[in-house]
Amino acid sequence: MGTTVVELVIILIIAGICGGVAQALLGMRRSNFLISVFIGMVGAYIGTYLAQRYGWPTLLMLTVGTSTMDIGWVFIGALLLVFVLHLINSLSRPGRARR
């Protein structure tokens, strides 16, 4: 059986929180919740891929209905994504003074 709408909304909220916290920790400008959800979802794919690829252990599993997600790797993937986006953004502005 597939994921229900309520489960999907809960997963998107969790991804948004992980993406928003990752943005805040790395000093990214405030953005709307949809951007945070996008960062959290892409971060989930990045973190989960890295954990499975290299055989890293699970950190904090969460089950929502029939879906399970590792919140730790979602957050770490979101941090990596925000770091890369911040790096690309700062390198693309050559006239900006670096501190």
Give start and end residues of each alpha helix (H) in the chain.
5-25, 33-54, 71-91
For residue 90 the two structure tokens come to 């700062």
For the cut 90, the answer to whether the pLDDT of residue 1 exceeds it is no
Phi and psi dihedrals of 6, rounded to 5?
-65, -45
21-69 confidence digits (pLDDT tens): 999 998 877 778 899 999 999 999 999 999 999 998 988 999 988 888 8
User: At residue 33, what is the residue type?
Assistant: F
For residue 4 the two structure tokens come to 């229900």
Which domain range does residue 36 map to? 5-91
Q: For a pLDDT cut of 70, what percent of the chain falls above it?
A: 93
Q: How many domains, the chain? A: 1
For the cut 70, the answer to whether the pLDDT of residue 2 exceeds it is yes
Kindly state whether residue 37 falls inside one of the protein's structural domains.
yes
Closest C-alpha among 41, 42, 36 to residue 20: 36
Kindly state whether residue 98 falls inside one of the protein's structural domains.
no
Kindly state whether residue 81 falls inside one of the protein's structural domains.
yes
Question: pTM to 2 decimals?
Answer: 0.82
For the cut 90, the answer to whether the pLDDT of residue 79 exceeds it is yes
Beta carbons within 10 angstroms of residue 23's beta carbon: 23
What residues pair up with 70 in beta bridges, in sequence order? 61
Closest C-alpha among 78, 92, 77, 90 to residue 23: 78
85-95 confidence digits (pLDDT tens): 888 888 887 76
